[in-house]
A and B are shown apart, each in its own frame.
Chain A
Amino acid sequence: MKPRHFLKCCIAVIAVTAFFCSVQAVFASTPNNGEEALGRKLAKQAVKGSKRWSTINHAKADALNSDFTTGEEITKACLSCHSEAATQFHKSIHWTWLASGDKSDIRYGKAGYSVNNFCISGNAMEDKGCLKCHTSWNRKGVKGEVNCLKCHNSSGFNFIEAFSDIKAFSEDGDPETDEMVKDIQQEIKQEVTRVTFPTRKNCGDCHFKGGGGDGVKHGDLDTSLTKPNRMLDVHMGIDGKNFSCTRCHTTVDHNIAGRIYTNPAVATRKSLIEDDLAPKITCVSCHSSAPHKNDSKMNDHTDVVSCQACHIPTFARVNPTMMWWDWTKAGKLKDGKPYHEDGPFGKPVYKSIKGEFRWEKNVMPEYFWFNGSLTSTTANEVIDPAQIVKVSHPVGDKTDPEARIYPFKIHRGKQPYDKINKKLLAPMLSGKNGFWTTFDMNDAIEHGNKTIGIPYSGEFDYVETTYAFPITHMVAPKENALNCTQCHTRENSRLANITGLYMPGRDKSDLIDTIGWILVIGALAGVLIHGIGRFFIRNGREG
């Protein structure tokens, strides 16, 4: 009898152990079972034919075999073959700096009523300081000629400087400088043929340095992305996929996908399986909306959480980014002269011309529902100065099927507003009437608001504002993505401010928990007392 029982016992134990080992086996094997996640498979396929090819060698193009003396001449040469390029480009936001394609609609855009909390306003292209980044020759704005080379020349050669040298040298009539002019001209001739699709440097010259310096604006775009490693950006890493910007920012008629302003970059997220001609601007385009391995719980998140939310744990991971800009402090002078002070990261913490700054590195994003659109409080909108003004803020809530929980850099600062009209103001900064010359804010506003045609009462004060940047670059390798408990946790959840949904691990019903723990602790206390009672009373009697 006994040995048989023992045997049965063993079998039962073995069966139960085997059952629980199988649990372990199932999960231990998941990460290494060789099966590739759908999102990876699709994305690899999407970039398989990534080698660009062309039928033109610009070094052999007759139109470019000329002694150029101005930028405009080069553009003319470009257009002699690419006849529609300028016409197309004139309609794009890179040229108009207006969000709407309609030039009469100047509500949104750098050249319109839009403001930010950096250099505040583009002053309808009247502030020439801003036009350094406009795609025209010689800061002429929309009145000038398109500078094709700004985006399509990979030489890094400074054509504008070369042309002004030529102009200066050829005026003095000295035979020796004539020789130098020839040299420069030869160099121009050589460099002008280095025509390419836009490189990271081309885009980065403006987009990495928006707001007046490296990493000032975006937080996920700075010069560290010119040659990033894959730890900084899996897509762009030169030791990784080595994508250029245009890999994702695909183009139709010189309109580049990915602009997020009043309208989303795309109306709906579509994978290339659903629409093989869709712009490749969303993660879903290449990775699909079920990118993780089969049956992964992560795939259940994609209807609520953006890819960026988990895969970009922090931004500004290599170079710092500006988080605070206080215009109220601007204008202080030392010995009658403007000055600046450097702080941590070797970045300025004060500039007389701009005010006080704060920089941060490795910044944890703030999370909001986002359907792809941003609200924009322009210089023509009435504000409530008693509150922090959201100059730009994500649109969306959990009932919006296109909205996802999305990471943002929120840039905070203080900027001038009209005390009477209750509108944000647009001071002129550069030029002879600009604040950077006069250090007179009232005067700068007077001139600045005139450029955009919005009346100024003459009385201003400062108001605190926020400006939101969607974080989408600097995607980390998957091993650095967030783990569950960064959000699914009671304390310090990254999504603490996302309300209206139940998140296991973060949320609980206090009532249920109280009832539950009373039941459990009550039972424990009950059996403890009962047990002690038995121990003393019964043992006393029977023993």
Chain B
Amino acid sequence: MKDKKIIKIYLYTRYERFWHWLQALMIICLITTGLEIHGTFNLLGFQTAVNIHNFVGLSWLILFAFFVFWLFTTGEWKQYIPTTKKLFSVVLYYAWGIFQGNPHPIQKSKGAKHNPLQRLTYLGISAMLLPVQMITGLLYYLYNDMSGVLSLSILAGIHTLIAFFLLNFLVIHLYMTTTGHSLFSHIAGMITGWEEVYETTQIADWETQAVKKK
């Protein structure tokens, strides 16, 4: 493998990177303030935490609309089409191959930024967890204007549970960034847009639907 040449390809566009990092900051901000509101710790002060949580949460709703718009106008939504093909080999890689120093079974390309495991995870988060979190968050925010309709304890319960799911994702996601060619190569890729891949990378047809139609 040492003889394989590593090249860089431009994988993440400006908006994509902007959204990724903004989203990262907002998630960290929301989880921190959210846990403070939940009563887990005292950091910023309850009132400040509530104010920031509300502001960032509402901003999220607006920014997410832009993300959805971007997703569909650019056709990037196809990156999220779930597949079971090679899913098992990816799982096997992280469970075993990675310790052997084997190469990743899936290489990134413009048409396939996500491996099958990522596709499944990101689809679950973007299409399930985040929308539910946004809806419960909004209802929580507007709770006082529609009291009697909903039980706050159920609303807060769902919102808290999903927050824990997202925190769980965040931990794993952060760790996974270190599994590139070097510890920080994935992070560098998300900052600059240029991701390291092997020169000899072969991209299977089924992976490249997103660009094929162009």
Contacts and interface: CB of A to CB of B under 8 A. Distances in A.
A267 to B, nearest CB: 22
A16 B160 contact: no
Contacts, number: 120
Nearest to A489: B39
B47 A516 contact: no
Nearest to A523: B171
A531 B73 CA distance: 39
Nearest to B17: A12
B197 interface: no
A23 interface: yes
B21 A16 contact: yes
A519 B172 CA distance: 11
Given A504-B39, A505-B39, A19 B51 contact: no
Contacts of B156: 502, 504, 507
A297 B168 CA distance: 30
Interface in A523-537: 523-524, 526-527, 530-531, 533-534, 537
Main secondary structure of the interface of A (DSSP, over half): helix
A483 interface: yes
A516 B144 contact: no
A504 B147 CA distance: 15
Interface string B12-24: 0010011001100
B56 to A, nearest CB: 7
Contacts of B172: 523, 526-527
Interface in A440-494: 483-485, 488-490
Contact of A483 (B18, B46, B175, B194): B46
A26 B25 contact: no
Contacts of B164: 512, 515-517, 519-520
Nearest to B144: A300
A5 interface: yes
B98 interface: yes
A538 B153 contact: no
Contact of A27 (B22, B52, B99): B52
B175 A23 contact: no
A520 B160 CA distance: 13
B168 A23 contact: no
Contact of B46 (A300, A485, A512, A516): A485
Given A300-B144, A502-B153, A505-B39, A12 B168 contact: no
Nearest to A20: B25
B157 interface: yes
B21 A12 contact: yes
B25 A505 contact: no
B52 A23 contact: yes
A354 to B, nearest CB: 45
A502 B101 contact: no
Contact of A515 (B161, B167, B178, B193): B161
A51 interface: no
Nearest to B171: A523
B160 A512 contact: yes
Nearest to B163: A516
A531 B161 contact: no
Nearest to A300: B144
A512 B167 CA distance: 14
Given A502-B156, A512-B160, A516-B164, A530 B25 contact: no
A530 B25 CA distance: 26
A297 B153 CA distance: 18
17 contacts: A26-B51, A27-B51, A27-B55, A300-B144, A483-B46, A485-B42, A485-B45, A489-B46, A504-B156, A505-B37, A505-B38, A507-B153, A512-B157, A516-B160, A527-B174, A531-B175, A541-B100
Interface of A: 5, 8-9, 12, 15-16, 19-20, 23, 26-27, 297, 300, 303, 483-485, 488-490, 501-502, 504-509, 512-513, 515-517, 519-520, 522-524, 526-527, 530-531, 533-534, 537-538, 541-542
Given A15-B18, A520-B171, 5 more contacts: A12-B17, A516-B160, A530-B175, A534-B179, A541-B101
